[in-house]
A and B are shown apart, each in its own frame.
Chain A
Amino acid sequence: MSSIIGYYSTPFGELWDKSLDDLFLEAATGIMNDLQIEMKQIDAIFFGNMLGGVVEKQLLLSAHLSELLDVNIPIYRTEAACASGGMAFHTAHEYLKSNPNKTVLVLGAEKMTDITASEITEALATAASHKEQSVGLTFPGVYALMAQVYLNKYGYNEEHLAAISVKNHAHGVLNDKAHFRRYVTIDNVLESPYVAYPLKVLDSSPISDGATALVMTNDSQMVQNRKSVTVLSSETATDTISIAKRKRLDEVESTKVAGNNAFLKAKINRTDIDVMEVHDCFSIAEILALEDLGFWKKGQGGRLAQEMVTHRDSGNNTIVNTSGGLKAAGHPVGSTGIKQIGEVYLQLTRQAQERQVKNASYGLAHNVGGSGGVAVVSILGI
């Protein structure tokens, strides 16, 4: 059984004075200092990064980490687009299952603001298929195609989508690491310019820099006297790169499969989950996530989103995206999956300060790569 014993996050945002290496170094040294442990106690490093090769023109980032941290231990990089971080966590969890008495560092980092909006749009579109890219379809464009089908099929409109952003911004106000700490209204969202119809700027997660770190272990000595949570399951599933090849456009199959497997392995029920970080890269994505993870019935998500039933002030039992989600906390893509796990860790260990959800014992993190080509669902318990 593996445990998470610590979490560290840099601020998320436009961090002009930080390079990708600076971000990695801050996250790694930050968590080491917090936990009072040394690099020699770390047996391996797993890290998520998507765009190093495209934005920074840097691959072999494992050697960068070796140089930065002065280590010669195994370092594994995972790339799964926006699920790169979740995949690093999943891979670390798999590693610990087969290697007793090990302690690993899990990092996620992304540097996104060094290039123009058009260039980063092209870079992120590398997570879409060649055919999607070759007709000028962008990443928001692919989600917009899914949103159109969903709204049309179930009779919802842009106001239903806007409620997701309003809720997540309200949560982000309480997160001192969030990219955006301000409230937005339904009207603000509806009046913001279109990125890819029907999705607008305020339906979309921002372009952010940031890095995060977790320490995971299956060494009982390391867990002692530390605030820890148990990893009950971490499951991943895949689907076609092109949405054109999918049976349905109003659901994400990889989320369904990974979610079902994660609940089977964790041996708990959906009603047990108190806090959840789901992948809201666009407002529509949070609605699809809650339906495909089995919390909402297919087609009811628009109405339930509008009622804000997962808002921290709703009085309900399952609160979603207490960090502010990708929307308000920011979305440095390789870092996001680690941040989601980290937020659940903070909630379950009562370290979430102002945004603490009372009596949270079980949490879930859901990270998606591309338009659903990869999904990682992890369940944690105290």
Chain B
Amino acid sequence: MSHSPVKIWRKQKTDRDLLGKNGTIISWTEINVAPPQYSSKTPYTVVLVKLDDSSNIYGQMVDFEKKDREIGKKVRSILRRNGDVGPEDVLEYTVKFVPLS
């Protein structure tokens, strides 16, 4: 996908509404073969989460132990850096998930 700074700027306007929310893991996977932007980060975990107060969203899961990474476990959304910087040198931040402890 294109990593245009304008696209990142547009996305961050809605990302802030998704921070600090609790939800439940509906499904998860660990990615071993990734697109170039994420290649240096493999393996990384992506979860599909049902937020307590709205719909389903995706995000990477960080700072967890394996017992936390299961269907049905609770997580909380936080702000973290997203992948490597692209050709435009824009440092992108995005919504990720940590276990709710």
Interface residues of A (CB under 8 A from B): 117-119, 121-122, 125-126, 130-138, 140-141, 144-146, 148-149, 152, 193-199, 243-245, 249
Contacts and interface: CB of A to CB of B under 8 A. Distances in A.
Interface in B39-68: 39, 41, 43-44, 46, 48, 55-60
B27 A148 contact: yes
B9 to A, nearest CB: 13
Contact of A118 (B26, B39, B55): B39
B41 A136 contact: yes
Interface size bracket, B side? 20 to 34
* Highest count of chain A CB atoms <10 Å: which of B33, B59, B60, B94: B33
Given A135-B60, A136-B83, A244-B58, A149 B34 contact: no
Contact of A121 (B35, B41, B60): B35
Given A135-B46, A135-B60, A244-B48, A121 B34 contact: yes
Contacts of A196: 29-33
Contact of B82 (A134, A194, A243): A134
A373 to B, nearest CB: 16
B30 A137 contact: no
Contacts of B6: none
Please give me the 9 A-B residue pairs with the lowest Cβ-Cβ distance, nearest first: A122-B35, A144-B29, A136-B38, A244-B56, A197-B30, A145-B27, A148-B27, A135-B58, A133-B1
A193 B60 contact: no
Given A134-B11, A148-B27, A244-B56, A195 B33 contact: yes
Interface of B: 1, 11, 26-39, 41, 43-44, 46, 48, 55-60, 71, 82-83, 94
A193 B71 CA distance: 23
Contact of A244 (B39, B43, B55, B71): B55
26 contacts: A117-B33, A119-B35, A122-B37, A125-B35, A130-B1, A131-B57, A131-B58, A133-B35, A135-B82, A136-B31, A136-B37, A136-B41, A136-B83, A137-B29, A137-B58, A138-B34, A138-B35, A146-B27, A148-B29, A148-B71, A149-B26, A152-B71, A195-B32, A196-B31, A197-B29, A245-B56
B58 A132 contact: yes
Nearest to A128: B1
Contacts of B46: 135-137, 141, 145
Contacts of A199: 29
Contacts of A149: 26-27, 71
